[in-house]
Amino acid sequence: MRRVFAGVAASKGLALGRARVREPHRLDVEERMVGEGEIDAERQLLHEALQAARRELNDMRDRVRGAIAHEVGEFLDLHAMLLDDPDLESGLDELIRTGHYSAGYALRLQRDRLVSAFDGIDDAYLRSRREDIDHVIQRVYAALHREPLPQVIGLAGEVLICEHIAPTDLAHLHEEGVVAIVTAQGSTLSHSAILARSLHLPLLIGAHEALLHINDGDALIVDTLSGHVIVEPDADDLRSFRDAEAGTRREKRALERLRKAPTRTKDGTEVRLWANAESRDDVAQAFSLGAAGVGLYRTEFLFLQRRELPTEEEQFLAYRDLVLGMNGRPVTIRTLDLGADKSDSTGLAIADEPNPALGLRGIRLCLAHPDVFADQLRAILRASAYGPVRILIPMVSHADELRACRKLIKRYTDELRKAGHELGEPPDVGAMIEVPAAALALDTLLPHIDFCSVGTNDLVQYMLAADRGNDALGPLATARHPAVVRVLGEIFRTCGEAGKSVAVCGEMASNPEHAELLLGLGLRDFSMHPSSMLEVRKAVREAALS
């Protein structure tokens, strides 16, 4: 019988195939207490399970080959880091020793504690890391009970239906020829979603009813463009699918012809497309697509995938490679953009905050940790010797923060020159406009900066009082709300009158449906993930401003 289930597109695409349902592997462990004489045995069981999970990750690394080895390796590194976190093991030991809990129940309690901490994080990307906690804990639990994890055995032409998908599973699925994945849970910012987009594998998340009502062998059409999965499609569905598939192929061929095309509206208005980058692959793709430069490089990734703070030298090497990768095109490096969401093991432990969205984050955190900020600024300044660099300050709400940053940049520039370091031209300094106060008092910030970058994700969230990570509020958190549109127009106008460049680097800039609106409001600089660049270029070339 034909049925339709809705979801959210995490990776765009169309697919037709047979359903392969994987039941969820849940950590439903009943509370069980152990006697004093059993405590050491339970601790030993847990330590052996942790060791077994580590061996499994090492074995997976050995098996992964080909173009995706680097990306999957990064995910394996993160999972290995979580397993090696001394806080995980010591927390489990403490629960067994003092609570007299069994190893399995201690594992469940520790999982719930960690997930609760991640759920309180304001940043949507970091909050989505709770999936990694789930994957790691499930692996340990399976090892504890000598049970294999549910196997992902995909065959060509099949659509996997599951609760959620780990990036390492997804990599194997891609190699097996699975044509699409539909999950009940997930985030568009998860590692799995990022990898699915890089592999061009359709991924539909949030299809809560799909796992309950789809059976093995059902014929499925997955259309992430419309956000639907159709079970047992009828003749009209199949006809529409074939037409859409042919249209997608034509569109891809047309987009490929735009790789070297100018980004210019029909009436001749020049527009610059910048890239949001997180990895060397992003930088290489951005350069090949003719990006004007890197409009946003997220430095927090250097801090998150490790237990200790990166040194100045380590950061310098990463920023230098970034600059070299753009071969003379400007690179915008955003300073550390974290808040009450920092792992204790990094050395930037922050006490729990009642409202982390309004807490010590972004530039506030950097100024509160001057030694950490010093290492980062010095590394960025040293990288400027290899090409043009711009410094972007996040979460700005007051001109005093910019004055403090300018003073520090001048101080470290002088110190580095005296120490004999070769530096490039003084970097332009910009502010992220993502706090309503910064948007409404922009004229007080402009004398202290050279450019602006509008973070529409947070700006929309703060203006509409709608958490962008809350699925239930999705329809409310729209960048087309009249208040948001009005404020964006005012930002662009104010920057234009002051002769300061302004870009949009949030999700709004990467959506071709918003291109004409942003152009009409006066925007001429868009910054987005490289995978969106051709679609946005096409939208710009089809727009006319007069």
Is the model more confident about 301 or about 206? 206
Give 349's pLDDT tier (boundaries 50, 70, 90): very low
Is the Cβ–Cβ distance between 293 and 330 less than 8 Å?
yes
pLDDT at 320 over 90: yes
Question: How much is the average pLDDT of 464-472?
Answer: 68
- Nearest-angstrom CA–CA distance, 69 and 527: 28
Is the model more confident about 42 or about 304? 42
Structure tokens at 139: 């692996």
Is the Cβ–Cβ distance between 88 and 82 less than 8 Å?
yes
- Looking at residue 101, the DSSP 8-state letter turns out to be B
Would you call 164 a catalytic residue per the annotation?
no
> Coil, strand or helix: which one is 392?
strand
Give 491's pLDDT tier (boundaries 50, 70, 90): very high
pLDDT in tens, 10-30: 888 999 999 988 765 555 556
**How much is the pLDDT for 451?**
98
| DSSP strand pairing (203-205 vs 8-11) | antiparallel
Question: How much is the average pLDDT of 187-211?
Answer: 81
Give 340's pLDDT tier (boundaries 50, 70, 90): very low
Spatial CA neighbour of 263 closest among 1, 2, 512 = 512
**How much is the pLDDT for 149?**
43
> Coil, strand or helix: which one is 479?
coil
For all residues of the chain together, what is the average pLDDT?
A: 83
* Torsion angle defined by CA atoms of residues 474, 540, 249 and 11, in that order, rounded to the nearest 10 degrees: -30
Question: How much is the average pLDDT of 309-338?
Answer: 94
Model-wide pTM > 0.75: no
Q: Provide the b/e sequence for 308-324 (b: ≥16 CB within 10 Å).
A: ebbeeeebbebbbebbe
Question: How much is the average pLDDT of 154-181?
Answer: 79
**How much is the pLDDT for 351?**
47
**How much is the pLDDT for 194?**
72
Least confident of 32-41, 338-347, 509-518: 338-347
Question: How much is the average pLDDT of 117-126?
Answer: 54
pLDDT at 343 over 70: no
Question: How much is the average pLDDT of 185-214?
Answer: 81
Q: Provide the b/e sequence for 97-106 (b: ≥16 CB within 10 Å).
A: eeebbbbbbb
Give 281's pLDDT tier (boundaries 50, 70, 90): confident
- What ranges do the domains of the chain cover? 3-25+150-234, 36-144, 270-542
Question: How much is the average pLDDT of 444-452?
Answer: 98
Q: Which helix (H) or strand (E) holds 124?
A: helix 124-127
Is the Cβ–Cβ distance between 352 and 390 less than 8 Å?
no
Question: How much is the average pLDDT of 313-318?
Answer: 95
Give 344's pLDDT tier (boundaries 50, 70, 90): very low
pLDDT in tens, 66-92: 444 555 555 666 677 777 777 677 778
pLDDT at 336 over 80: yes
**How much is the pLDDT for 345?**
47
Point out the catalytic residue in the list 135, 191, 369, 529.
191
Question: How much is the average pLDDT of 298-307?
Answer: 76
- Nearest-angstrom CA–CA distance, 476 and 344: 34
E strand intervals along 413-500 = 428-433, 451-454
- Nearest-angstrom CA–CA distance, 476 and 481: 8
Token pair 């309950």 is found at 212
Highest-confidence segment of 51-55, 209-213, 230-234, 341-345: 230-234
CATH 3.40.50.11310 fits domain 3-25+150-234? no
Would you call 191 a catalytic residue per the annotation?
yes
At residue 254, what is the residue type? A
At residue 358, what is the residue type? L
Question: How much is the average pLDDT of 312-330?
Answer: 95
pLDDT in tens, 500-516: 999 999 889 988 989 99
Q: Which residues lie below 8 Å from residue 65, measured CB to CB, with a gap of 6+?
A: none
Highest-confidence segment of 194-198, 357-361, 528-532: 528-532
Q: Note the CATH number of domain 270-542.
A: 3.20.20.60
Highest-confidence segment of 104-108, 255-259, 399-403: 399-403
Q: Which residues lie below 8 Å from residue 252, measured CB to CB, with a gap of 6+?
A: none
Q: Which residues lie below 8 Å from residue 522, measured CB to CB, with a gap of 6+?
A: 489, 492, 493, 496
Least confident of 105-109, 204-208, 234-238: 105-109
- Nearest-angstrom CA–CA distance, 345 and 483: 41
Question: How much is the average pLDDT of 53-65?
Answer: 66
* Torsion angle defined by CA atoms of residues 201, 207, 213 and 217, in that order, rounded to the nearest 10 degrees: 0
Is the model more confident about 110 or about 448? 448
pLDDT at 390 over 80: yes
Is the Cβ–Cβ distance between 507 and 457 less than 8 Å?
yes
- Count of residues for the chain? 546
pLDDT at 216 over 90: no
pLDDT at 335 over 70: yes
Point out the catalytic residue in the list 79, 505, 514, 529.
505
- Nearest-angstrom CA–CA distance, 530 and 102: 48
User: Over the Cα atoms of the chain, what is R_g?
Assistant: 25
Is the Cβ–Cβ distance between 318 and 278 less than 8 Å?
no
**How much is the pLDDT for 162?**
87
Token pair 């104010």 is found at 494
Give 256's pLDDT tier (boundaries 50, 70, 90): confident
What homologous superfamily is domain 36-144 in, according to CATH? Answer: PtsI, HPr-binding domain (1.10.274.10)
